[in-house]
Amino acid sequence: MEGNSIIAPLSRVATADSRELDRVCEEVAVSLRAAGTEPPYQLTSANFASDPFLICADRYWRLRFLDRPTVRTAAECARWLQAHGPGREDTIGQTHYTEIEEKWALGYAFITRDSEESPAEIADACGDIVGSADTAYFAALYHAGKLRANFRFDELHGFLESSLLALAAGPHRDGPLFTALRAFAACGSRRLTAEHAADLLDHAWFSPQRTPHTVDICLNALAAAAPFPAQGELLRDRAREAATQWPENHIFVFRLATGLHMCQEHDAALEAVDLALALLPAMGSRGSHKQLQEQYLARRELILEGRLRAAETASHRRRWEEQNATYRKVEAQLNAATSHLITMITVFLAAIAFILSTIQLTYGGDLPLGDRMRLILGEGAVMLGFSGLLILGTHLLLRYRERPEPPKSGPD
């Protein structure tokens, strides 16, 4: 058969040479596309790094989607995968099949996100798709992936909840990936409650059947969500969990950098985004290297800018604290000097008042000497008590003014 002759180079290519492997797979995929022939072989793995047959099939369907980025093409791809994908009779085969299915549906959606189909076009295509839940699921993932890539939260919510194509996915709707997409829509929407979004997100995140793509969408949902308390901390912690489980996944490391940046942990965020950039090239063209690299570099610039602002803010705060401490010291000295001065003035005025008031008693009047002395002593005691109260009140007032202000809380 013509298809078998076209794919012959795949059996001879050296898988250790990544450049040669990439070149041969691309050439075979282009030849199959030109001949109008789908890849005529069975897939046996989900190894996108060194399986020439999987890489070739991936390139072939990439060309098909770039040529016709529609749910009809997604349905055709789903049917081919159902017929030629890894066997699903055991756990390993099912895992490989699911990995390819999710990677293709969401990956092809990302690279064709600029060609969104209208609800009318989706409805028109449903007649050829909804007969199979597996086919409808793949096509629904593809269109939902476009809406997700374009951050069309409310449109994504409407599509997942009411579109005939999404409803035709049947039991797949209860799976963690579908739930993660619903959570993404809810997190970004201003029409849905935060509680509803959090519930969907937790169901997807803690599902025993979650896949790396489920985790990716959950982290993407947290990063793109409408702002809520402790958003950065939640994204940071969950991204760190994902990056620990899949340390070679550059997207998870990038999400960790985003979470750290939101928490203003700039040094750690810079280290994480640099690691994400270092991991990115190993993914090749399949991962849309250029688009992701631009996204990572843009985040890196934001981290550097935030790091610089944080350093400037810290410097300003230190100077302000030093100036405030100096001001408080001078204020305390002035208050102490004022207290002493007021004490002296009070005593001086009291003494004058006492002298003036006792002159009349001393040199005038007909009172006996004993009575005069008692009046003078009584008046002196009153003056002394009044002066003491005045001095004590002044001291307490100035002491209250010297109390330091409580430190202000809030971000630097």
Q: What is the pLDDT of residues 321-343, one digit of tens each?
A: 777 777 777 767 666 666 665 66
Q: What is the pLDDT of residue 14?
A: 82
* Within a domain: 278: no
Q: What angle do CA 316, 319, 323 make, to 5 degrees?
A: 135
pLDDT reading at 372 higher than 70: no
Does the residue 213 lie in any domain? no
Whole-angstrom Cα distance, residue 21 to residue 44? 18
Q: Average pLDDT, stretch 236-251?
A: 95
DSSP 163: -
Most confident among 5-9, 356-360, 398-402 (mean pLDDT): 5-9
Report, as an integer, the average pLDDT of 93-114: 94
R_g (Cα) of the chain, nearest Å: 39
Q: What's the CA gap between 11 and 52, in Å, rounded?
A: 8
How much is the pLDDT for 376?
66
Per-residue pLDDT tens for 46-58?
999 889 999 999 9
| 385 pLDDT tier (thresholds 50, 70, 90) | confident
Q: Which residue has the tokens 């004490």?
A: 343
For residue 158, give the 3-state DSSP assignment: helix
CA torsion 302-305-310-313 (nearest 10°) is: -130
Residue 90: pLDDT over 70:
yes
208-220 pLDDT, tens digit per residue, is 999 999 999 999 9
- Cα distance between residue 385 and residue 393, in whole Å: 12
Question: Between the CA of residue 194 and those of 175, 185, 229, 236, 290, what are the distances in Å?
Answer: 21, 11, 11, 19, 34
pLDDT score, position 324:
77
Q: Say if 143 falls within a structural domain.
A: no
Between 322 and 17, the more confident residue is 17
Q: What is the pLDDT of residue 412?
A: 41
pLDDT in tens, 252-293: 999 999 999 999 999 999 999 999 999 987 545 544 677 788
Structure confidence at residue 358 as a pLDDT band (50, 70, 90): low
| 393 is a domain residue | yes
**HSE toward the beta carbon, residue 288, CA cutoff 13 A:** 18
| pLDDT, tens only, 149-202 | 999 999 999 999 999 999 999 999 999 999 999 999 999 999 999 999 999 999
Confidence check: pLDDT of 1 > 80: no
Whether 125 is covered by a domain: the verdict is no
Q: Say what percent of the chain tops pLDDT 90.
A: 63
50-54, 76-80, 95-99, 355-359: range with lowest mean pLDDT: 355-359
Query: How far is the C-alpha of 56 from the C-alpha of 48, rounded, in Å?
Result: 10
Task: Provide the number of structural domains found in the chain.
Answer: 1
Q: Quick one: which of 172, 252, 175, 258 has its CA closest to 216?
A: 252
Q: Would you state the pLDDT for residue 365?
A: 54
pTM score, whole prediction: 0.76
Contacts 24+ apart (CB under 8 A), 35-38: 35/2, 35/3, 35/6, 37/2, 37/3, 37/6, 38/3, 38/80
Give a yes or no: residue 366 inside a domain. Answer: yes
More confident residue, 290 or 21: 21
Question: What is the domain extent for residue 384?
Answer: 328-401
Please tell me the predicted confidence (pLDDT) of residue 321: 75
Which pLDDT belongs to residue 28?
96
Show Cβ contacts of residue 375 under 8 Å, excluding neighbours closer than 6 positions.
361, 367
Q: Is the pLDDT of residue 403 over 60?
A: no
Looking at every residue in the chain, the average pLDDT score rounds to 85
Closest to 171 measured CA to CA, from 133, 209, 142: 133
Q: Is residue 341 part of a domain?
A: yes
Q: What mean pLDDT do residues 306-332 have?
A: 74
* CA pair distance 82, 101, nearest whole angstrom: 9
Q: Who contacts 351 (Cβ-Cβ below 8 Å, separation ≥6)?
A: none
Is 122 a member of any domain?
no
Asked if residues 148 and 160 have their Cβ atoms less than 8 Å apart, the reply is no
Q: For 302-328, what is the mean pLDDT?
A: 77
